Amino acid sequence: MTDADLKKKREILFAKFPPGQVPEAADDLQRLDEVEIELKYEKRSLGVAYDLQEHTLQELDEHLVDKGYHLDNTLLSKLTRALIYYVEETQLHNLGAPEKRIKRSAQEAYVNAWEQHPHGDHDDTPPEWREYK
């Protein structure tokens, strides 16, 4: 994953009521480190830019809700937020995951071959014949 994949630009939409939330929320978010804000009055929204290793959209949304702001709750907004939350959480999880090996080790092939090969005191006699007296 490149650094460009971790730079996120999102939009936080606000409800119609109470009016005047956009500039207040912008002031509130500008106090956070590593967050860039762009006011979009005509859309009742804020453009936010952040590094995924520093913040997530879910964290920013929850911060605003805790401060008493009302986010847009239309179905489309809820679905969009849920999808973004999931994608960002998955990206962060994958950052911590070990790299998947493309080629298996040479030793693994020998171990598998050894397990398939009969060795030691292997007896081909069927079990029922061994117990015959």
Instruction: Map 59-124 to HEC letters.
Output: HHHHHHHHCCCCECCCHHHHHHHHHHHHHHHHHHHHHHCCCCCCCCCHHHHHHHHHHHCCCCCCCC
pLDDT at 102: 55
Distance CA 29, CA 123 (A): 75
pLDDT at 103: 54
Across the chain, which has 133 residues, the per-10-residue mean pLDDT values are: 88 95 96 95 96 96 96 97 97 82 62 69 75 68
pLDDT at 54: 94
Q: What are the phi and psi torsion angles at 24 (to 5°)?
A: -65, -45
pLDDT at 85: 97
CB-based contact 76:45 (threshold 8 Å): no
CB-based contact 71:77 (threshold 8 Å): yes
Give the pTM.
Answer: 0.73
